[in-house]
Amino acid sequence: MLRAAVIGAAGYTGIETVRLLLGHPNLELTIVTSAADSGRRLEDVYPALAGCGLVFEDPAACDVAGSADVVFLAVPHTASLALTPDLLEAGLTVIDLSADFRIKDAAVYEAWYGTRHTAAELLERAVYGLPELTRAALADAQLVACAGCYPTASALAAAPAIEAGLLAPGPVLIDAKSGVSGAGRTPAPNTLYCAAAESVQPYKVGSHRHTPEIAQMLSAVAGGPVAVCFAPHLVPMSRGLLATVYLRAVEGLNVEDAVDAYRSRYAGEPFVTVHPAGRMPSTHEVCGTNRAHIGVAVDETSGTLVVACAIDNLVKGSGGQAIQCANVALGLDETAGLTAYGPVV
């Protein structure tokens, strides 16, 4: 049994990672930290975890290196820059849920995140954590930079068409919608109930920090630069994410051939389901799970391939994906701890 720690466990992505690790057959959760909630029982902060027996520890005082083999960093962007070098030096496997090591070019990171990258020497070692597209590189990885929630759904939707040569030249257009939990636990004016309820709002169009990450992943798949236009939206639900991707199709592409290409690409993938032609996914059907459900359509009038991907932003878009990556990196069954079905009502 390997020992696991979650640093920053009180946030939404952190506590979802905790929830999933509590049911993992091969990982024992030994440390959970939160500076704000240090000394409090988890069940006092999150009553749904009653009986787990864990207490939040102060991240500055606990001995992570001496009490864990793998550490999940569920910390804000830039925080892992200071933590990761020492954790790696201590011999731990680091699964970083933040964006600090996702973008390979430090200058691009600095431009989009507005801060200096203080651990750029580790970027070459970091493996991008999207198992369906980077599985081979994840094996034995010591530093995993887990894909963001929007990039996960967007890349899973677009990559098979790019790989199969189904696209004519043109930008990738992404219309994505996420629940309020994607904004994190810290209150903000636009995520308060009165602002978010019964309203849908696009935000950071053309300037969202996931844009270069999506472009980097799709360019790697294409073997050359891919232009991305990304429009995220905040929708009034607690969790869930739907990315609808619009791609210029090659002449003569029909929906049956497109669905066949997607099913062939994801055949054998334990967490990806490609729906039959005519059926699109919903966020409800993947709620609470590490699954990605994909629907494919072809608008023959405009020559557009339309692909929608639904995930749970807190599971496949965050904590669940982190565990899936850890399973691969540690040589465990990739599905360990992630096979439970979600609620059906």
Query: Catalytic residues, which ones?
Result: 149
3-state SS, residue 197 = coil
Give the closest residue to 274 by CA, choosing from 260, 295, 253, 289.
Answer: 295
User: Residues 218, 130: contact at Cβ < 8 Å?
Assistant: no
What are the tokens at 181?
């939990």
**Burial profile 152-171: b = 16 or more Cβ within 10 angstroms, e = fewer:** bbbbbbbbbbbbbebbeeee
Strand 272-274 to strand 304-311: parallel, antiparallel, or no bridges (unpaired)? unpaired
Structure tokens at 16: 């979802």
Q: Which residues neighbour 121 within 8 Å (Cβ) at sequence distance 6 or greater? A: none
Task: Specify whether the CB–CB gap between 145 and 129 falls below 8 A.
Answer: yes
| Strand pairing report for 143-146 and 228-234 | unpaired
How many alpha carbons fall within 13 Å on the CB side of residue 60?
4
Residue 176 parent element (H or E): strand 172-178
Q: Is 50 exposed, middle or buried (0-12, 13-18, 19+ CB in 10 A)?
A: exposed
Please check whether residue 321 is in contact with residue 152, taking contact to mean a CB–CB distance below 8 angstroms.
Answer: yes
Q: Give the three-state DSSP class for 276.
A: coil
